[in-house]
Amino acid sequence: MSEEKKTAPLVFPYFNRELSWLAFNQRVLDQATSAEYPLLERMKFLAFVSSNLDEFFEIRVSGLMQQVTSGMNEAGPDGLGPKEQLQRIRQVVKRLIVDQTTCWENQLVPALTESRILFCGYDELTRNEKRWLRQYFEEQIFPVLTPLAIDPAHPFPQLTNKALYILASIDDPQTRIIESMMAIIPVPRILPRTVKIGVPRRGNPEVYIFLSDIVQHYAKHLFPGYRVRSAAPFRITRNSDLYIDEEEVVNLLRKIEEELMNLQKGAAVRLEIAQGADPVLLEQLLQALDLQPDNVYTIAGPINPLRLMSTYNLIDRPDLKFPPQIPHIPALLETPERIFEHISKQDILLHHPYDSFQPFIDFLNQAACDPQVFAIKQTLYRTSGDSPIVEALMEASRRGKQVTVLIEIKARFDEANNIQWARQLEDVGVHVVYGLVGLKTHCKTCMVVRRENNGLKRYVHLGTGNYNPKTARLYTDLSLFTAAPAITSEVAGLFNTLTGFSLTPVFKKLYVAPFTLHSKIQKHIKTETRNARAGKPARIIVQTNSLVDKQTIDHLYQASQAGVKIDLIVRGICNLVPQVKGVSDNIHVRSILGRYLEHSRIFYFENSGGAQPRILAGSADWMPRNFFRRIEAVFPVQAPEHRQRLIYILETYLKDSKHARILHSNGSYHRPRNTTSSTPFSAQETFATESNHTRSPFVTQLQEASISPPHSANNSDRPTP
C-alpha cells in the first residue's frame, strides 16, 4: 500500500494559483535578505513585497472573500475551495510579514547603520534632533492634521483604501473611570512618509524617522486636556476590482470614473495595525469595518514598508545602489532620421533594458514630424506619467496626421492615468478608442503608414512590454521593428478589428488572442508530443510571467509523458507541478529574479520535420485571461540572426545558477545544485556586460539549431528522495 502511494500520480497535479503567487513574493523577499545586492536595492525589494501584497489583497483575496460570502465553495483544479484558500493564505501571509519585519529590523537596519544611515524611533533621537523634530511637527505636520473623535455625535468616518491612520485611545483624566474613547487621526498623503532629520549628529550620519512614528508620538498634542493612553498606526485594504457590465454602459469612460470613486468605499478585506493597539478599540474598529479577526495582521515593524521606495530616492548614496546600466543603441538606430530606411531593409530586434528603448521614442518622434507619414496607430496599456510617447502622438495630430490610439482604460490601477491620457489626446484631435467589449487590449503594437515611391508602406513595432520608458529601464522585454508585408498587413487587420467590427478576423502569421493564440499554442505542443512518440527530436522552451491555463498544462503533461524535453522559465505563478513520476518527469521549471523584472515572453518549439524551429515572442502569458479575455499579439521571429539571438537568450537563462530558483514537486524553490562552475552564473549580468560592447550582445557563432542538449545544467536539480 505504501508503495502505491509513492508511485501513484497526484489526484490534482496542479499548484494553487494564490499560494504559487505568495511563493513568488517570498522569492522577492529573499532578494531583500541577499547580501549579493547593494544595500539600498535590498531595501527596495522589501518595499516591492508590500506593494505586491497590497494588490494581492485588493484583487485576489477580495475575490475569494466574495465567493465565500455568496456561498460559492467550488474547488479549483488543485482541489482547494475559497474557504480553504483563504485559511492557507492567512497562514502564509502572517509568516511572510514576520519574515519581512525580521529582515528589516535584524538585517537591513543594522547594515544601514554601519553605512551611516540611521532609521530611528523618537526615543533614539538626540536632544537637538528632538528639538528640531518638534519644530518640524508644529510647522509642517500639525497644521494639516485633523483628529476625528468617534462618539454618538461623530459617526465613524469613511476610511480611504491604503491610507495611513493613527488609532488613539483617549481618556479623560478628570474622571475616576478609565475610559477608552476612540479617535482616529488621518495622516494626509501629501506628507512625506519618511522624514530626514535636519540637524547634524556626530559622525555626520543621515538620520531618518517614519512619519507614523512622529504623529504617534505627538498625538497627545491633538487632544488638549485629555490623556492619550495608546496610539497605533494602521491602514486598511479594500476590494479594488472594477465591476462593469460593458454591454449595459453607454459611456465607458464616465462609468469607470464613477467606479474609481466607489472603489474608495469598497469592502474592507484587510486591517494592518501596529502592536500595542487598545484591544477594546480594535474590536470596535473591526465592527465598523465589518471585518473578522482573521483579517487582522498585527505588524511588529513599520506599517507599510512600501514607503521605503520614496526613501530610496531620498538617499543619495550611489555606492549602495546598482551601478547605472547604459543601454546599448544599435548602430542602425543611432540616426533617427534614417530609421524608416533601415527598418525597410531589415527587421530590427531589441532586448531591453540592455538595448535602449529610445529607438522606439525616436520612431514615433520621426513619424510625428515626417511629412511622408500619413497615419499612426498605437495601443497603450500602461505608460509613464510624463510620457514622451503621448507627447509624440499629440504632436503628430497637431501636424495634421491621422492618429488613432487604443487606450485600455480598464488597465488595473492605471485607470485614472489612462483616462487622463485619453482626454489629453482627444483635445488635440487624436481618435481615441477603448477596444472591444468584454476584452482588455493588452497587445503592444504600433503602426506607421508612410507614403513612398511605390505607394503607401507600413512600418510596425511589436513588443512584449508596455510603452513605458521608465519600466523599459527596469523590465526585460523584446521589441521588434519590421516592414515585412506579411506581418504589417496583419497588424493593420488587428487595428481594424480593434476599432471596427470583425467577428472572425483572419491571422496567419500573428497569433492573436482571443481568436487564434490558444489553439495554435495547443497545436504546437501536440506536434512536439507526436514527434517525440515517433522518435524525432522534441523540445519546448517557454519564458513567461505566469503559467495557469489548465488545458495548456495538461497538454504539457502529455508531452512530457511522450518524452518531450520541456524547460519552463516562469517568473511568477506556476500551477504546473514538475518532476512528478509518470506525469511530468521531463518538465523542469525555474524562476529568475534579479536586478531587472523578467517580463519577456519567448516560446520555442523544436518542430522536428519542419523547415526550422518555431520561435515566437509577444505580449501574452499562458493564463486563461490572456488566452480568452484579452487582445494579445504573439509574433514569429523570422530573421536568422534574431532567431539565433533568442536561442542564445533562452540558453543563457537555462544556465543561470545565481538568480535562478528551481521549482520542485512539493512547491518549494531552491538554488540550482551541482553546477559545473564554482562561480555562480547570472544571465542578467551576462547580458548587461555584453551590451556594453560594440558588437551585437549575443554569441554570433551560435548556429540556428544549436540549442544545447536539454537539462544539461539542471539534471541534478531534481529533489532528492
Q: Which residues of 362-398 are buried (b: 16+ CB within 10 A; e: fewer)?
A: bbbbbbbebeebebbbbbbbbbbeebbbbebbbbbbe
Note the pLDDT of residue 253.
Answer: 54
pLDDT of residue 40 exceeding 60, the answer is yes
Mean pLDDT over 139-165 rounds to: 91
CATH T-level topology, domain 511-717: Endonuclease; Chain A (3.30.870)
pLDDT of residue 701 exceeding 50, the answer is no
Measured distance CA(56)–CA(53) in Å, rounded: 5
Q: Write the burial class of residue 313 (CB in 10 Å: 0-12 exposed, 13-18 middle, 19+ buried).
A: exposed
Mean pLDDT over 285-305 rounds to: 94
Task: Looking at mean pLDDT, say which of 139-148, 381-390, 691-700 comes out highest.
Answer: 139-148
Least confident range of 449-463, 498-512, 519-533:
498-512
Return the closest-CA partner of residue 490 out of 523, 525, 516, 455.
Answer: 516
pLDDT of residue 712 exceeding 80, the answer is no
Mean pLDDT over 44-72 rounds to: 92
pLDDT bucket at 27, cuts 50 / 70 / 90: very high
Return the closest-CA partner of residue 626 out of 433, 441, 409.
Answer: 441
**CATH code for 331-499?**
3.30.870.10
Q: Write the DSSP string, 236-288.
A: EEE-------GGG-S-HHHHHHHHHHHHTTSPEEEEEEETT--HHHHHHHHHH
Note the pLDDT of residue 264.
Answer: 53
CATH T-level topology, domain 1-115+305-323: Methane Monooxygenase Hydroxylase; Chain G, domain 1 (1.20.58)
Angle in degrees, CA 622, 625, 628, rounded to 5: 95
pLDDT of residue 242 exceeding 80, the answer is no
Note the pLDDT of residue 502.
Answer: 67
Using DSSP's 3-state secondary structure scheme, residue 233 falls into: strand
CB 359 within 8 Å of CB 331? no
pLDDT of residue 166 exceeding 50, the answer is yes
CB 64 within 8 Å of CB 82? yes
Measured distance CA(541)–CA(521) in Å, rounded: 12
Least confident range of 44-58, 404-418, 630-644, 665-679:
404-418
What are 315-325's pLDDT values in tens digits?
Answer: 999 999 999 98
What are 547-572's pLDDT values in tens digits?
Answer: 999 999 999 999 999 999 999 999 99
pLDDT bucket at 257, cuts 50 / 70 / 90: low
How many other C-beta atoms can be found within 10 angstroms of the C-beta atom of residue 462? 24
Note the pLDDT of residue 7.
Answer: 46
Angle in degrees, CA 51, 61, 19, rounded to 5: 80
Answer yes or no: same fold for 127-291 and 331-499.
Answer: no
pLDDT bucket at 42, cuts 50 / 70 / 90: very high
Mean pLDDT over 274-302 rounds to: 94
Note the pLDDT of residue 258.
Answer: 58
Retrieve residue 330's grid coordinates: 544599435
pLDDT of residue 5 exceeding 60, the answer is no
Mean pLDDT over 682-693 rounds to: 89
* Polymer length in residues for the chain: 721
Note the pLDDT of residue 436.
Answer: 74
pLDDT of residue 64 exceeding 80, the answer is yes
Note the pLDDT of residue 438.
Answer: 80
How many other C-beta atoms can be found within 10 angstroms of the C-beta atom of residue 687? 23
Q: Write the burial class of residue 619 (CB in 10 Å: 0-12 exposed, 13-18 middle, 19+ buried).
A: buried
CATH of 127-291, one of 3.30.70.270, 3.90.550.10, 3.30.70.1450, 3.30.1840.10: 3.30.1840.10
pLDDT of residue 147 exceeding 70, the answer is yes
442 has catalytic annotation: yes
CB 353 within 8 Å of CB 476? yes
Mean pLDDT over 215-231 rounds to: 93
Retrieve residue 590's grid coordinates: 525555474
Note the pLDDT of residue 382.
Answer: 79
Torsions phi, psi of 375, nearest 5?
Answer: -150, 150
Note the pLDDT of residue 44.
Answer: 96
pLDDT bucket at 92, cuts 50 / 70 / 90: very high
Task: Write down the catalytic residue from 328, 342, 352, 442.
Answer: 442
Domain ranges of the chain: 1-115+305-323, 127-291, 331-499, 511-717
Measured distance CA(403)–CA(374) in Å, rounded: 9
Return the closest-CA partner of residue 363 out of 383, 393, 398.
Answer: 393
Q: What percent of the chain has pLDDT over 90?
A: 74
